[in-house]
A and B are shown apart, each in its own frame.
Chain A
Amino acid sequence: MLDAKTERLTIEKARRGDRDAIAALIHAYQRPLEAFLFRLCGKHELAEDLAQEAFVRVIKSLDRFDDQYRFSTWLFTIGKRLLVNAQQKMKPTADSEIVEYRAGDARTPLAEVESAERVERITTLVDIAIGALGSPQREIVLMFHQQGWSVQRIGEELGMPEGTIKSHLFRARRRMLFAIEQSGSPNPSEVLQ
């Protein structure tokens, strides 16, 4: 992620058609956006395609970007809209189908330090926990726990009071806990090593 000042400078350069600045913006936000969209739709290829499309749209319309707002918020909003449009065109994916995350994927940081088997276990747990959530709890959990956004920022993005966001987070964590318990998950000692 870029800090606010670097981000603003990079956006300025990208506005003037600086290719390296455009590449820097993409590099900074491609992975977070793909991860966010993947956890919402459950399909890697779709998430990658939508993330690319979101970047194309955002960078082509950089002139209209208001510096008062966060670039990532704008990018994620467009990505989410593209996902909604794509989902309206295709058959909706049931929550239980979201077990597509490939174990030992070379792009997962965990893969670099843990064995493929352990990664597979924890990945399955993530799938189960996230799959137990509906809308808008899934989105809120992803924004908070995956993207690291503040409660205030999530509230502004979704147009909800902070109290409602906190309440959703609390309920979502309870629901995920319940789903993990019910899943007959692996021995925690194996996962937590």
Chain B
Amino acid sequence: MPEPAGSSRAQRLLVRVLLALRSEARSRPQSLSDRARAEALADRIMLELPRSVLPIGIAALFIVGVVCLMPIMRDAIAAGSDKQGSTVASVVESGLRNQGAALSDGIGALREVVAPFAGEGCPSALENCPHDAPPCDAAAPFSRS
């Protein structure tokens, strides 16, 4: 239902009403009571702010705890890796032994091949080896008198 346009008197009252409405929201910088209320609320908020920081503090404590526990954890990890290391070492050692055994087998095989040529008719290569004689004998060109 459309309302009437209103008399000039009512219109002037409406303007007054709207001005009064505007004045309600106007902040007053000089008002001591308004300032006191704002200060009190700011203090309250400042008191409550650390509570919101609490989760961050807990997280920081957790990080500190982890850092402190790191040496212990490192030792535990090192102990675990030592076990693994000894296993690896034993595997390597046995591998080396096998290789050594194979090498000695090879030397034996070579000796077997060389043996026929090392008979009596054949001078031993070691016989003329100067290392068998003492250095003073080896150096002397003539037999001693």
Chain B's nearest CB lies how many Å from the CB of A52?
6
CB of A185 closer than 8 Å to a CB of B: yes
CB of A29 closer than 8 Å to a CB of B: yes
List A contacts of B52 (CB < 8 A).
60
Are A146 and B10 interface neighbours, CB within 8 A? no
Interface residues of B in 7-54 (CB under 8 A from A): 7, 9-14, 16-18, 20-29, 31, 33-35, 37-39, 41-46, 48-49, 52
Most A CB atoms within 10 A — which of B14, B43, B45?
B45
List B contacts of A147 (CB < 8 A).
25
Are A129 and B17 interface neighbours, CB within 8 A? yes
The answer for the CA separation of A17 and B37 in the assembled complex, in Å, is 19
Q: Which of B10, B26, B44 contacts A177 (CB 8 A)?
A: B10
Chain B's nearest CB lies how many Å from the CB of A103?
12
The answer for the CA separation of A181 and B20 in the assembled complex, in Å, is 18
Q: Interface residue tally of chain A, by bracket?
A: 35 or more
Are A146 and B34 interface neighbours, CB within 8 A? no
Q: Is the interface of A mostly helix, strand, loop or mixed?
A: helix
Are B6 and A32 interface neighbours, CB within 8 A? no
Least CB separation from A36: chain B residue? B25
CB of A19 closer than 8 Å to a CB of B: yes
The answer for the CA separation of A173 and B4 in the assembled complex, in Å, is 11
Given A19-B46, A31-B27, A32-B26, 7 additional A-B pairs, CB 8 A: A30-B38, A122-B17, A123-B20, A125-B20, A126-B20, A175-B3, A188-B9
Which residues of B does A touch, CB under 8 Å? 2-7, 9-14, 16-18, 20-29, 31, 33-35, 37-39, 41-46, 48-49, 52
Top 8 closest pairs, chain A to chain B, by CB: A178-B3, A23-B42, A177-B6, A27-B38, A32-B25, A26-B38, A35-B24, A35-B25
Selected A-B contacts with CB under 8 Å, 17 pairs:
A19-B43, A19-B46, A24-B38, A29-B27, A30-B34, A31-B34, A38-B24, A39-B21, A108-B24, A125-B16, A126-B24, A145-B18, A146-B25, A177-B6, A177-B14, A181-B10, A185-B13
